[in-house]
Amino acid sequence: MAWWNTHRDFKNSINKDINPDLASERKFPPFNVEKLTNLLDGGIENTRVRRRVEAAIHSDPVFSRENQYFLSSSERYERGIQKSIHLKKKMVQLGWMKDGPEIQWLNRVLAGDIGFNVHAVFVNCILELGTDEQIAKWIPLAQNYNIIGTYAQTELGHGTYLRGLETTATFDMSTQEFVINTPKVSAMKWWPGDLGRSATHALVLAQLYIKGKNYGMHPFLVQIRSLHNHSPLPGITVGDIGPKMGFEHIDNGYLILRNIRIPLQNMLSRYSQVLPDGRYVKQGSEKINYFSMILVRVSMIDNAVVNTLTKACVIAIRYSVVRRQSELKPGDTEAKILDYQTQQGKLLPQLAAVYAFHFIGPYLHDFYNRVHHEIKSGNFQSLPELHALAAGLKALLTEYSSAGVEVCRRACGGHGYSMLSGLPSLYSYVLAACTYEGENTVLYLQTARYLVKCFASGQSGQSLPQSVAYLTSELSRRCQARDRSDFLRTEIYLDAFKHRACRLIRGAATKLQAMVQSGVKQYEAWNSSSVELLEASMAHCQYIVVKVFVDAVEKLDSDPAIQKSLKHLCHLFALHWIRTNAGSFLHDEYISGNQLDMVTASYLDLLLLLRKEAVILVDAFDYTDEQLNSALGSYDGQVYQRLFEWAQKAPVNHQVNSAYENYMKPLFHSALSKL
Amino acid sequence: MAWWNTHRDFKNSINKDINPDLASERKFPPFNVEKLTNLLDGGIENTRVRRRVEAAIHSDPVFSRENQYFLSSSERYERGIQKSIHLKKKMVQLGWMKDGPEIQWLNRVLAGDIGFNVHAVFVNCILELGTDEQIAKWIPLAQNYNIIGTYAQTELGHGTYLRGLETTATFDMSTQEFVINTPKVSAMKWWPGDLGRSATHALVLAQLYIKGKNYGMHPFLVQIRSLHNHSPLPGITVGDIGPKMGFEHIDNGYLILRNIRIPLQNMLSRYSQVLPDGRYVKQGSEKINYFSMILVRVSMIDNAVVNTLTKACVIAIRYSVVRRQSELKPGDTEAKILDYQTQQGKLLPQLAAVYAFHFIGPYLHDFYNRVHHEIKSGNFQSLPELHALAAGLKALLTEYSSAGVEVCRRACGGHGYSMLSGLPSLYSYVLAACTYEGENTVLYLQTARYLVKCFASGQSGQSLPQSVAYLTSELSRRCQARDRSDFLRTEIYLDAFKHRACRLIRGAATKLQAMVQSGVKQYEAWNSSSVELLEASMAHCQYIVVKVFVDAVEKLDSDPAIQKSLKHLCHLFALHWIRTNAGSFLHDEYISGNQLDMVTASYLDLLLLLRKEAVILVDAFDYTDEQLNSALGSYDGQVYQRLFEWAQKAPVNHQVNSAYENYMKPLFHSALSKL
């Protein structure tokens, strides 16, 4: 029977066997894969919980992602809302508690494909910034979705620079109300999620004015749509900002407020309050505001960024052992593309980065919790260090991960351009993270500002916080490596990263100092040095990432087989970054050209070693096919069959072709007489 | 009157004045902008023709791109077909001839947003590969759109490696027919444009079999859909491959052929022919096939790649003098973001690249024409050089331009993520070019193969073709620069690029040779060196691009003011590449760390210089607002107004929100009693 007959019935046509090209990669795992899975999940119990969550979600048709790539953005939006509301019910049914162990897996299992995300920010802000009365009034409503809120901060003309926000909230003592206004076009709220088509309420960030005096940005609770019929309330103009590169399921919106009056009680007042007589009272530190922003950055690294790069690696690496192209050895069958050194050089550094970044989340969370604890007892000392780390690592990881997903996508050739590969959606998703929660260049420069300060403190003999202590440590002037194997020693490459970060920070700080001393204004000197400050900041963050990876792998000595593979990944990761940033290692001859050749030699050796384990190493993350939602990346490797099946389901293949009816038909008919 | 009242009537609300922040940038142009426009167009007459074409196209509502970002892919497809058919009529009306001066501007003016592109390839192939009879039969039909053809080469499992294609065409002598078959899933045709929903015919590339013997790939003309009712003919399975990252208006398709019989006359037979008795006859050289592939690559550099990067630069640079963020100088109004050094460091190198790449098209076209001329007289000597150049430059320019568009997109912050900015579409458009017409890594390695051969020839004393002659020239061992101003001398940086390319090519070739001499098989040695070969190939192509730019600018001495600005761009471009590839310049100490600091100093000086001219330099490309189709990039700089106006037109803002009706309404209603 010809092959195409077996394909007539689409539902049953996929051969459920594992593609032998993929199966052969799994035959001789160098370690216990399940154990690595447990380790990555943070323990065997976590793996169990995750799989329970997966079973519950994947078996529920409401959460199905089948045909997702064929949906319009309106359909995606509606499904997102449906899923959110259904999830809340389901959690009650299943007895999953708000602080239960299942919650941490929901984002991964649902693949972020759910609505009311900014509503959750709205809820958190009220909990964080509201008084007890405000919490008692609003939280039950919000948690039951009886109202939907958005967090309306960003304006059409204002993003990362919060002080520039132009929306005003003026206290009218005569009525005991705030009057909220959008004073000009550039001041309209723009981008907030859940605003465009859903929200009934908005937490509006606005400049507070009392008796003509500006008290800075404060949060105000404003109802924007009727709870009767969802129409905008008088004075409100609200809508959707239109199509975006990704996040089709989110209704990012715009909002204009014209003389909107809200009661005095609607300013969130845990930390600052306006009294009926117009007095302004502050309680506690503003820094707490700052602190919740850090948590968002810390959390997004795991949830939005590392997960996405991981999925892209799973897809691209599985595909690369199934796809065959060209004869590697003349006369042989076509080779798996992962057998080409260039393909290894594209994908394996991304795989190494996935493992490196996997350890950053816990590292930052630990640090965050420690600082949180300190702050509770009134000690804000570590906050600047935490802020600098979170900002820089957010920038580095989002930037590298975006580039990495794109490397994976492109490594899948033409099929990586098809939405059915899953890769374009991953890319447009992770990409956004370079901009939201602080534009990366701005964040890098915030970290740089902290580094320059620390450098100066170090110069003047003060002791430095842990993550920057190396700025005052003794540094060797030359790399000690004598042959390629030396570059497989962590202390050798750690020293290189440390030395380089130090040199770049010193260089930028010295330039800055010299300019100021020569009479240039501080702000001008800063701007004129910012390209170099940026490079210094990156180098510092890279050092931290390599260091955290090295430390994490060293702790894995209870399973030597796993540790060995992860060590190779760690080496590859470090050497990849040395190679791709070679200029700054060679610049002061810390590393010689000769040594760089050793780096390359070891790097190429590692590619070959890790090539053999690549599939195992991506399998260990244990992503389900539903989470990957990729015709190229499924566990069974039936790539071509799945592409064909999915494509056939595209709606355009089942609709009347009006372009034919309207334009082509008459032209084709006139050919009939001529052929 | 409050500002929002003036915005009620969307049609009339955009202030048609130039935004003063943009106007001020145009006040003191350092040269005659119109003259630069003429120069970029290739002469004053060309500018005239282009503007005539623009006037004709932009005034015709069929070609309007208004609301394009709100259209579904089906609507985009139908509009593309409509435009193609309308354009043909219009050209007749306007008297534009097929070889007239207007044609070269059509792609730019229509912004590629038109159907039947692969049909044009189908037509060209028949003209190129068909006999006179075949041309006489098919071309009139095809040119009048009485039939629509596709070029069906790529298969589900086979892309760049053409010899791997699996579709078969078996000669059946008894009926004087070819029998075309898709022998397995991976052999189905996949990706051809115009195939999914339009084509009536396909030029199927298939392995020719006569009496069991394979004669390699040949082109066969196959009807696939009925001219009566457009349904697939018996034995044909055809459809659309579904959604992609871009090219929404193109119906890329799949095609399965089951025992499709076509007459002997349907194999295109200008260069090889099957006689009725089954004899296979070759006429002329196969290399001619090869040659048309080169032309496609040469042409796409201008049409798809450089145009796109240019538009992205226009948008991002105009936006960056309108967008203001943060106080640069404390107490001042917020600064234009282009005044930040980091923003200059993002955008100005892209602007320089636009100018650099602008000169590559003519350079390659000239070379192509020369070789074409030689080939006509039977001289194929320069073909390998042309092939290597076109392959490598295609790879370099598509890769760099994709990255550059993304830099521009990201430099626009959140608004760059909105489709209304125009930037996401430009990105997904240019990105595809990294894969189609030859995957870039494969192409780089083809160039590397040529370079390694030339290196060996050079070693053995043979003289080398012009573009690689430098491989045997005398090279200085150290860069001669003594201060930063030396890096503004073209001979200094040209020598650096030459030296580096030479070193990398020699290094890779030497490694390859050594491995083979030590007993490693040639193919293994090649694979094991391919990461280094890739780097060598890139370095060679970068040298060529810098060289072509330098030569082009040197010829502009008739207008010293323009020449001066372009010289600055050329310097910036070269220094940017030295900085971003610093490792390979420092590696053998050709450039010292000290000299690299001079490079950085000059680079930063140039950023400041070119900052002032940036808007003028993008204006000179004279893109119309219709071509840019960007709320951020219009000539008048009314960014925020336009974003707001366009967003309001989004269909979701005028539709019933079924997510509200279906899911949110009951929840909100139950809040009414509680508030």
Per-residue pLDDT band for B286 (boundaries 50, 70, 90) equals low
> How far is the C-alpha of A652 from the C-alpha of B77, rounded, in Å?
11
CATH topology of domain B149-284: Butyryl-CoA Dehydrogenase, subunit A; domain 2 (2.40.110)
> How far is the C-alpha of A309 from the C-alpha of B364, rounded, in Å?
38
pLDDT of residue B112: 85
Positions of chain A with pLDDT lower than 50, given as ranges? 1, 8-13
The Cα angle at residue A160 between residues A158 and A162, in degrees rounded to 5: 70
pLDDT, tens digit, for every residue of B298-321? Answer: 988 888 899 999 999 999 999 999
What's phi and psi for B466, nearest 5 deg? Answer: -55, -50
Give the E-state strand segments of A126-212 in sequence order: 149-152, 168-172, 177-181, 189-190, 201-210
Decide if A437 is catalytic: yes
Chain-centre distance for alpha carbon A579: 25
Q: Do B73 and A588 touch (CB under 8 A)?
A: no
pLDDT of residue B6: 56
DSSP characters for B13-56?
HS--SPPHHHHGGGSS-SS-HHHHHHHHHTSHHHHHHHHHHHHH
Report the mean per-residue pLDDT for chain B: 94
CB pairs under 8 A between A and B: 375
CB B195 within 8 A of CB B238: yes
CB B118 within 8 A of CB B194: yes
CB atoms under 10 Å from CB of B241, counted, come to 28
Q: By C-alpha distance, which of A543, A545, A549, A463 is closest to A505?
A: A543
pLDDT of residue B159: 85
Mean pLDDT of B452-473: 95
Query: Cα-Cα-Cα-Cα dihedral of A106, A112, A116, A119, to 10°?
Result: 80
pLDDT of residue B9: 39
DSSP assignment letter at B231: P
Q: From the candidates A437, A532, A613, A626, give the one annotated as an active-site residue.
A: A437
> How far is the C-alpha of A154 from the C-alpha of A121, rounded, in Å?
14
CB B391 within 8 A of CB B297: yes
The domain at A44-115 falls in which architecture?
Orthogonal Bundle (1.10)
> How far is the C-alpha of A95 from the C-alpha of A495, rounded, in Å?
50
pLDDT, tens digit, for every residue of A176-215? Answer: 999 999 999 999 999 999 999 999 999 999 999 999 999 9
- Residue holding tokens 């192209």? A325
Task: Nearest chain A residue to B442 by CA: give it.
Answer: A342
Q: Is A7 on the interface with B (CB under 8 A)?
A: yes
pLDDT of residue B465: 96
Tell me how close the Cα of A644 comes to any Cα of chain B, in angstroms.
8
Q: Do B200 and A237 touch (CB under 8 A)?
A: no
Within 325-354 of A, beta carbons closer than 8 Å to B belong to 325-326, 328-330, 334, 339-343, 345-346
Per-residue pLDDT band for B480 (boundaries 50, 70, 90) equals very high
Q: Is A234 on the interface with B (CB under 8 A)?
A: no
**Residue B367 pLDDT more than 90?**
yes
- Residues 6 or more apart in contact with residue B140 via CB below 8 angstroms: A674, B146
> Which residue among B141, B190, B410 sits closest to A434, beta carbon to beta carbon?
B410
pLDDT, tens digit, for every residue of B126-152? Answer: 998 999 999 999 999 999 999 999 999
Does the domain at residues A289-464+484-619 carry the CATH identifier 1.20.140.10?
yes
pLDDT of residue A287: 72
CATH number, span B45-115: 1.10.540.10
> How far is the C-alpha of A486 from the C-alpha of A598, rounded, in Å?
9
pLDDT of residue B11: 39
pLDDT, tens digit, for every residue of B586-619? Answer: 999 999 999 999 999 999 999 999 999 999 999 9
**Cβ contacts of B585 on chain A, cutoff 8 Å:** 583
CB atoms under 10 Å from CB of B211, counted, come to 9
Within 174-193 of A, beta carbons closer than 8 Å to B belong to 182-186, 188, 190-191
Task: Nearest chain B residue to A74 by CA: give it.
Answer: B652
> How far is the C-alpha of B247 from the C-alpha of B262, rounded, in Å?
32
Q: Do A640 and B434 touch (CB under 8 A)?
A: no
Name the residue with higher pLDDT: B368 or B289. B368
Per-residue pLDDT band for B2 (boundaries 50, 70, 90) equals low
Please give the CATH superfamily to which domain A151-284 belongs. Butyryl-CoA Dehydrogenase, subunit A, domain 2 (2.40.110.10)
Q: Where are the domains of chain B?
A: 45-115, 149-284, 289-619
**Residue B490 pLDDT more than 60?**
yes
B193 annotated binding-site participant: yes
pLDDT of residue B348: 98
Out of 3.30.930.10, 1.20.140.10, 3.40.920.10, 1.10.1040.10, the CATH code matching B289-619 is 1.20.140.10
pLDDT of residue A293: 81
